[in-house]
């Protein structure tokens, strides 16, 4: 174990990936699917052997002169190299898929996007569905470790706008040994909580009526916010509304990083937490708008007195909005009821908007993030006060004390970078022959890591029908969305490389 700790971080991640291949291999053995079992066993051994050899050859390498840049490069290499290794048994087990498309599938899972080339769940065997869920779950765990172990000390990933983090980061050194020790501490804290919540949600879904295999896959898709499902979504399960209530509760760790902090014996986020406040305003406000819209539509066709449909429509809207806000992408089984009750088309643009807002910082959720939106809101209030009272003394309330002095400006810069990335991705996808609606939904899906967003505009395009050029653009956008544009800019900063 001490020798493994000396391996480079990317080698350790490869060893974890090789070990994870044994789980679908054993499941395939249980189902007597010998071809899939052999593929996973063989590649598990080969990948682990390759990682050990590389680790032994590089364990005594000289520490990097710029540890911060080395850590950011490790994140980028992880999203470039790991999907290739994870795709090896997958491509071998799915005849006619090809390595390129298998790489896309694994990259989508690892970035917790959840975009899949397999629209019909029956086209894959259970071990392969389990592998997709495991990769997505490990991708969520990797995000938490990278955020808390690497990005927080570098004052990135959303921490750059928090006043508390800005004060703390100035007191922290950034040597390679300290970074390694910090990552080990983060793993020891985060891993048990992450695995425990997944196990608890799996049990709740089993009690609600799901098969153990489906329950575990949906629990992994919930905690990682990947939305990966082996049955085509929650409608393919049997847990019903009780299962959706359980999933909604376990989506809260993606709303605020303080939830994990509470489980690690820190303060519990309350209603004074700006991320919680924005989540409640967004989810409840949009649910009311969706209900009123559907109620007016139902009144026109004389269905407004159907109280059962009205109640199911409220829950369907509430759950689906929360799911898209956390960039999970699960649709409630009653989401369709909302549309049937009013006979109105799907309000897809609203779901795209909440996906762009995203979840909490330092969570597995994607998007712009709630804390950045809050910082922009406080900036707007401050500018309005200056317009009304140019010579007045600015207020410094609780909300302002949570945001550093540069936080609002950095949040605005991030929003502009996000919009630029969105425009570039849309233009690149349109160049491959896609329509405006398809390009928009795909761009939002990639940059917010919400793979299910492809369906919200009512389009019938699928990922399997996309040309290879579009899949390439989508893959690059997934990496940018998962790493965040500000981190990518910091990585390729000319000042950093000149130093």
Total count of residues recorded for the chain: 499
Nearest 5°: CA angle at 188, between 186 and 189?
Answer: 65
- pLDDT at residue number 494: 45
Q: DSSP assignment of 178-244, as one string?
A: HHHHHHHHHHHHHHHHHHHHHHHHHHHHHHHT--HHHHHHHHHHHHTT----TTSSGGGSS-HHHHH
- The residue behind tokens 């520490």 is 63
Contacts of 132 (CB under 8 A, 6+ apart): 105, 109, 116, 124, 228, 230
- pLDDT at residue number 286: 92
Largest CA distance in the chain: 77
DSSP-assigned letter for residue 268: P
Contacts of 424 (CB under 8 A, 6+ apart): none
Question: From the first residue on, what is the mean pLDDT of each consecutive set of 10 residues in the chain (499 residues)?
Answer: 75 93 95 94 95 86 69 87 95 91 95 91 91 96 89 78 54 63 87 94 95 95 94 89 94 83 58 84 92 81 73 90 93 83 80 91 89 85 77 57 73 89 95 90 93 77 90 94 79 57
User: Distance of alpha carbon 188 from its chain centroid, rounded?
Assistant: 21
Contacts of 28 (CB under 8 A, 6+ apart): 34, 36, 37, 40, 125, 127
**Cα–Cα distance for residue pair 119/403, rounded to 1 Å:** 43
The answer to whether the CB of 264 falls within 8 A of the CB of 189 is yes
- pLDDT at residue number 170: 45
**Cα–Cα distance for residue pair 170/335, rounded to 1 Å:** 47
- pLDDT at residue number 382: 78
Nearest 5°: CA angle at 247, between 264 and 367?
Answer: 75
Closest CA to 91 of 119, 41, 64, 128: 128
- pLDDT at residue number 1: 59
Count H helices and E strands in the chain, helices first.
23, 0
**Cα–Cα distance for residue pair 324/451, rounded to 1 Å:** 10
């Amino acid at each position: 174990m001490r020798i493994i700790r000396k391996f480079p971080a990317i080698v350790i991640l490869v060893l974890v990936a090789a070990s994870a291949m044994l789980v679908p291999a054993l499941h395939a053995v249980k189902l007597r699917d010998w071809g899939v079992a052999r593929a996973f066993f063989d590649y598990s051994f080969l990948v682990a052997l390759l990682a050990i050899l590389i680790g032994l050859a590089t364990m005594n390498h000289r520490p990097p002169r710029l540890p911060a840049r080395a850590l950011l490069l490790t994140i980028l290499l992880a999203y470039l190299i790991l999907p290739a290794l994870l795709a090896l048994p997958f491509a071998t087990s799915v005849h006619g898929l090809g390595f390129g498309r298998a790489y896309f599938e694994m990259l989508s899972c690892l970035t917790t996007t959840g975009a899949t080339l397999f629209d019909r769940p029956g086209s894959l065997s259970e071990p392969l569905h389990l592998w997709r869920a495991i990769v997505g779950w490990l991708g969520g765990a990797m995000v938490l470790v990278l955020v808390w172990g690497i990005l927080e000390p570098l004052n990135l990933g959303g921490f750059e706008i928090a006043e508390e983090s800005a004060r703390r980061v100035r007191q922290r050194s950034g040597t390679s040994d300290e970074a390694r020790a910090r990552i080990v501490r983060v793993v020891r804290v985060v891993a048990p909580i992450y695995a425990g919540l997944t196990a608890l949600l799996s049990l709740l879904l089993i009690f609600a009526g799901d098969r153990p295999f489906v329950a575990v896959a949906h629990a992994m898709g919930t905690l990682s916010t990947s939305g990966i499902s082996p049955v085509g979504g929650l409608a393919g399960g049997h847990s019903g509304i009780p299962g959706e209530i359980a999933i909604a509760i376990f989506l809260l760790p993606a709303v605020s990083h303080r939830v994990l902090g509470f489980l690690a014996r820190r303060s519990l986020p309350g209603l004074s937490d700006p991320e919680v406040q924005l989540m409640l305003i967004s989810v409840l406000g949009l649910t009311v708008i969706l209900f009123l819209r559907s109620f007016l539509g139902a009144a026109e066709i004389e269905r407004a007195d159907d109280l059962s449909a009205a109640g199911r429509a409220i829950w369907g809207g509430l759950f689906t909005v929360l799911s898209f806000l956390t960039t999970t992408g699960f649709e409630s089984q009653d989401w369709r009821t909302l549309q049937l009750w009013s006979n109105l088309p799907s309000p897809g643009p609203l779901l795209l908007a909440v996906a762009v807002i995203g979840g909490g910082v330092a969570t597995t959720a994607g998007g712009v993030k709630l804390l950045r939106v809050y910082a922009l809101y406080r900036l707007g209030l401050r500018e309005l006060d200056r317009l009304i009272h140019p010579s007045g003394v600015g207020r410094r309330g609780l909300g302002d004390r949570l945001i550093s002095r540069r936080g609002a400006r950095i949040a605005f810069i991030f929003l502009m970078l996000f919009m630029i990335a969105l425009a570039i991705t849309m233009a690149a996808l349109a160049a491959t022959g896609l329509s405006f609606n398809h390009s928009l939904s795909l761009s939002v899906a990639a940059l917010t890591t919400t793979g299910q967003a492809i369906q919200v505009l009512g389009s019938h395009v699928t990922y399997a029908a996309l040309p290879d050029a579009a899949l390439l653009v989508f893959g690059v956008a997934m990496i940018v969305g998962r790493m965040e544009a500000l981190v990518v800019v910091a990585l390729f900063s000319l000042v950093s490389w000149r130093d």
